[in-house]
């Protein structure tokens, strides 16, 4: 029997809302077949980040080469750095039946929607903007100037959340994880029901002809 293609799951949300934290908790749960799409970026690595695991940290020239080779599904500039999604691994993993998680900002997500509208687009929102600022500040990875820029960006991003299929509020990590798992489960059911319906239709059609 052929393998049912995996789901493309796109998770976006403002910097500091908790995308990385929630995604790690989603991946921590047992019995999943999720694969994380590691992006390429020109941003400097933060302490603790691992090349090839968190990001492929590349130079501007290397990033340009990826664009020229058409190796990116999408890319965007975000607060002075480039970020892009390598396409090859995504196709390979979806074909194996694995669900592929993209954690990308909104401009990139909208480009993915144009190219792969079958994706499941989830926006992770903060309970409020004051809490968002606290989270970025407490994470301790960004200067005051970068925090200011990221908060300005958050305003634009939240405006675009209406273009997503689902909005999940990250009040408590466990709640957000439960909601994301429920969304994925229901999207899988939708695909299975569609396949069953087509199979029934084929069956009925040929029975009639007998
Ligand atoms: N368009 C696009 N955005 C990405 C990609 N990888 C990461 N991002 C987004 O770029 C933004 C900045 O990422 P980062 O510097 O790691 O900051 P953080 O999200 O605050 O940890 C976040 O919204 C990421 O989700 C990518 O491949 N494409
Ligand atoms: N639900 C939550 N409640 C409180 N703090 C959170 C929650 N989710 C994430 N955080 C904290 O907020 C900060 C930013 O989270 P992170 O996962 O790095 O965000 P993002 O990947 O969206 O930039 C981290 O210090 C993280 O521990």
For position 202, which CATH number holds? 3.40.50.300
Tell me, in angstroms, the distance from the centre of ligand 1 to residue 193's CA: 34
CATH number at residue 77: 3.30.63.10
Ligand in nearest proximity to the CA of 11: 1
Q: What is the pLDDT of residue 45?
A: 95
pLDDT above 70: residue 190: yes
In this predicted structure, the answer to whether residue 210 has a pLDDT above a threshold of 70 is: no
High-pLDDT (> 90) share of the chain, %: 87
Residues in contact with ligand 1 by the CB-under-6-Å rule are 15-16, 19-20, 39, 43, 74-76, 78, 83-85, 103-105, 108
Asked if the model's pLDDT at residue 3 lies above 90, the reply is no
Q: pLDDT (tens digit, 9 = 90+) per residue, 39-98?
A: 999 999 999 999 999 999 999 999 999 999 999 999 999 989 999 999 999 999 999 999
Q: Mean pLDDT across the chain, nearest whole number?
A: 93
Ligand 2 center to residue 97 CA distance, Å? 30
Cβ neighbors of 86 (< 8 A, separation 6 or more) are 37, 38, 39, 40, 56, 66, 71, 72, 73
**First vs last C-alpha separation in the chain:** 25
Is 143 annotated as contributing to ligand binding?
Answer: no
- 17: pLDDT strictly greater than 80: yes
**Residue 4 has what pLDDT?**
85
Residue matched to tokens 């909104």: 106
Per-residue pLDDT at 1:
60
> What domain range is 14 assigned to?
1-34+99-209
pLDDT at 113 over 90: yes
Confidence band for 9, pLDDT divided at 50, 70 and 90? very high
Q: How far is the CA of 56 from the centre of ligand 1 (A)?
A: 12
The domain total for the chain is: 2
pTM score: 0.92
Distance 101 CA to ligand 1 centre (A): 13
Residues 8 and 82 in one domain: no
- Say if residue 196 is in the same domain as residue 126: yes
Residues 104, 78 share a domain: no
* Helices 19-28 and 173-209, packing angle to 10 deg: 60
139 and 76 part of one domain: no
How confident is the model at residue 209, as a pLDDT? 64
139 lines ligand 2 (CB under 6 A): yes
82 and 126 within one domain: no
> Could you tell me if 61 and 88 lie in one domain?
yes
Dihedral sign of CA atoms 15, 88, 35, 3 in order: positive
How do strand 81-86 and strand 72-78 relate by DSSP bridges? antiparallel
Q: Cβ–Cβ contacts within 10 Å for residue 17, how many? A: 26
Residue 19 marked in a binding site: yes
ipTM score of complex: 0.96
Q: Are residues 189 and 164 in the same domain?
A: yes
Among 97, 125, 148, the domain boundary falls at 97
In this predicted structure, what is the pLDDT of residue 35?
A: 95
Same domain, yes or no, for 134 and 177?
yes
Strand-strand pairing, 8-12 and 120-125: parallel
Q: Does 84 carry a binding-site annotation? A: no
- Whole-number pLDDT of residue 208: 74
Looking at 62-198, which runs of residues are DSSP E strands?
72-78, 81-86, 99-103, 120-125, 166-169
* Domain closes at, from 58, 73, 97: 97
Q: Which atom of ligand 1 is nearest to the CA of 72?
A: 27
Same domain for 21 and 106, yes or no, is yes
Give the pLDDT mean for 24-39. Answer: 90
Q: Are residues 20 and 47 in the same domain?
A: no
């Amino acid at each position: 029997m052929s393998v049912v293609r995996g789901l493309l799951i796109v998770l976006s949300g403002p910097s500091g809302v908790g995308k990385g934290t929630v995604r790690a908790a989603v991946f921590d749960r047992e019995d999943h077949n999720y694969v994380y799409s590691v992006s390429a970026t020109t941003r400097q690595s933060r302490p603790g980040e691992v090349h090839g695991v968190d990001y492929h940290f590349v130079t501007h020239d290397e990033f340009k080469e990826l664009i020229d080779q058409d190796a990116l599904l999408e890319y965007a500039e975000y607060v002075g750095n480039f970020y892009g999604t390598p396409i090859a691994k995504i196709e390979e993993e979806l074909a194996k039946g694995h669900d592929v998680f993209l954690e990308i900002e909104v401009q990139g997500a909208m480009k993915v929607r144009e190219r792969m509208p079958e994706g499941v687009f989830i926006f992770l929102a903060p309970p409020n903007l004051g809490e968002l600022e606290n989270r970025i500040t407490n994470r301790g990875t960004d200067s005051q100037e970068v925090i200011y820029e990221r908060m300005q960006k958050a305003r634009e991003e939240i405006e675009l959340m209406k273009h997503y299929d689902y909005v999940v509020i990250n009040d408590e990590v466990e709640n957000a994880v439960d909601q994301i798992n429920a969304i994925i489960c229901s999207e899988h059911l939708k695909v299975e029901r569609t396949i069953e319906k087509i199979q029934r239709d084929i069956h009925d059609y040929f029975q009639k002809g007998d």
